[in-house]
């Protein structure tokens, strides 16, 4: 038997957002934060958001992107959790609305599958490049089918509105410092700074389910 662990990134693996971490490292934090605040106030659309921030990173080199990723404010224990999943012969996926060029760097830390927006520094935006809340569900279901894993052997970890539909779909869900909109949808809630502890709760859900199936 194998299992799939699906992680959100911003606010779950990362304390905050990839756009903030990138802009902070590249020296464009104030401009990016102004765009972020306008988006949070619903004054601009998702496409407008990316049209505004992508030019801020236009001159970033791959080395700078690597360093922005490495120095970002990650929750404790990310690499250890991915390593444990691999050691057990299970699967991990990270599905985020942040840029895939940032998310995919988690593969170097042991994540098996990564998904994110198709935007690139200095490039164009557009709805065809963005990853939506529904995409999180669709990608997870496709992975389950490709890997031959049952929904009852999948656990999702998330924190906010982008995880609502996935948490509504799956039985095993762990809210990691969740926002109020997600809290009532979580099978269990973890409050703290260490992904290993949230992951232990997720494993507990899977083991309880397996024990119930055997009884």
Q: What is the mean pLDDT of residues 2-30?
A: 95
The residues facing 154 across adjacent strands are: 4
CATH code of the domain made up of 4-15+74-214 = 3.40.50.1000
State both tokens at 30: 């104030």
Q: Over pLDDT 70: what percentage of the chain?
A: 98
Average pLDDT over residues 35-64: 94
Say what the pLDDT of residue 214 is: 54
pLDDT band with cut points at 50, 70 and 90 for residue 213: low
Pairing state between β 113-117 and 154-158: unpaired
| Res. 26: pLDDT tops 60 | yes
Q: What is the pLDDT of residues 88-126, one digit of tens each?
A: 999 999 999 999 999 999 999 999 999 999 999 999 999
Asked if residue 165 has pLDDT above 60, the reply is yes
Closest CA to 188 of 162, 214, 207, 213: 207
- Average model confidence (pLDDT) across the chain: 95
Average pLDDT over residues 165-174: 98
Residue 212 has what pLDDT? Answer: 67
Handedness of CA 176, 177, 181, 186 (dihedral sign): positive
pLDDT at 209: 80
């Amino acid at each position: 038997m194998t299992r799939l662990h699906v992680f959100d990134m911003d606010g779950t693996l990362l304390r905050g957002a990839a756009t903030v971490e990138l802009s902070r490292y590249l020296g464009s934090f104030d401009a990016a934060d102004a765009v972020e605040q306008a988006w949070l106030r619903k004054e601009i659309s998702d496409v407008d958001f990316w049209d505004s921030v992508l030019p801020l990173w236009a001159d970033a080199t791959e080395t700078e992107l690597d360093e922005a990723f490495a120095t970002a404010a990650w929750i404790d224990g990310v690499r250890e959790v991915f390593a444990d999943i691999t050691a057990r012969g299970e699967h991990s996926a990270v599905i985020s609305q942040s840029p895939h060029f940032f998310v995919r760097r988690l593969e170097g830390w042991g994540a098996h599958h990564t998904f994110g927006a198709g935007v690139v520094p200095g490039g164009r935006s557009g709805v065809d490049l963005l990853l939506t809340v529904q995409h999180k569900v669709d990608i997870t279901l496709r992975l389950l089918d490709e890997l031959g894993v049952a929904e009852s052997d999948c656990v999702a970890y998330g924190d906010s509105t982008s995880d609502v539909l996935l948490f509504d779909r799956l039985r095993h869900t762990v809210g990691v410092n969740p926002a109020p909109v997600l809290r009532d949808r979580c099978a269990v809630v973890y409050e703290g700074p260490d992904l290993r502890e949230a992951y232990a709760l997720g494993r507990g859900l899977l083991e309880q389910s397996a024990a119930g199936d055997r009884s």
